[in-house]
Amino acid sequence: MEYIRRADERGQVEIDWLQSRHSFSFGHYYDPEHMGFSVLRVINEDVVKPGYGFDTHGHRDMEIITYIIDGELEHKDSQGNQAIIPVGDIQRMSAGKGILHSEFNPSSTTPTHLLQIWIQPQKHGISPSYAQKTIIPNGPLTPIVTPQGSDTAISINQDVSIYKLKLQKDEEITFSAEGRSGYLHMIKGQLNGTDKYFAAGDGYGIQNEKNVMLRAGEDTEALWFDLPHQ
């Protein structure tokens, strides 16, 4: 099974300080055809103006991941965590039985461009927790989130791994999801297959597929999600 989500078909939010694109139903945007993929529930691509952000609000029972594309983001939460998230870091907040947090662009001049990712948890009602790690790419696919975590990846309360994809023009990558689900979210560049073409903002999901080969038409950055088959 293949699932394709084109960038220009995503839900949109445009307000004074925020430009947001929703790959799946979120907030006031609802589309029953796009409610998530496996346990992947939200991918929001946000651009936040300098000096603005999301005021304190709450979450429960969700694994929330922040990936910075450009700029940086300031995080504060009710557990006492306070940090700046720059390009190259990955952040995970396990909301668990309940947490309050805020996210702001601390710059006075530079917009923050980020991905906000929500993954449904494996266990509910856990104690909230926070993790942040600097990611150093190691080859075309670098693990940045895994169930147990590692020297290069933060842990998550779910049977999910997320990889950062970095390819130079004409490099090839083969994806497999045999007995699993996989989801590709394009950030920059383009990937081409025999009958496929994906550019920035596009999403591509597969279930129980193997040996899907794609070639970079230009230097490319993306995220690959290894997900349970549901």
Summary mean pLDDT of the chain: 96
Q: Is the pLDDT of residue 209 over 90?
A: no
Model-level pTM?
0.96
**Statement: 2-227 belongs to CATH 2.60.120.10:** yes
CA dist list (Å): 84 to 64, 67, 88, 134: 16, 12, 12, 12
Answer whether 91's CB lies under 8 Å from 162's CB: no
The answer on pLDDT for 129 being more than 80 is: yes
**Can you tell me the mean pLDDT for 179-199?**
95
- Is the model more confident about 176 or about 111? 111
- Residue-wise pLDDT for 52-104, tens only, equals 999 999 999 999 999 999 999 999 999 999 999 999 999 999 999 999 999 99
CA dihedral (160, 191, 13, 9) in degrees, to 10, reads -110
Residue 29 has pLDDT above 80, yes or no: yes
Query: Average pLDDT, stretch 121-144?
Result: 94
Rounded to an integer, what distance in angstroms lies between the CA atom of residue 7 and that of residue 10?
6
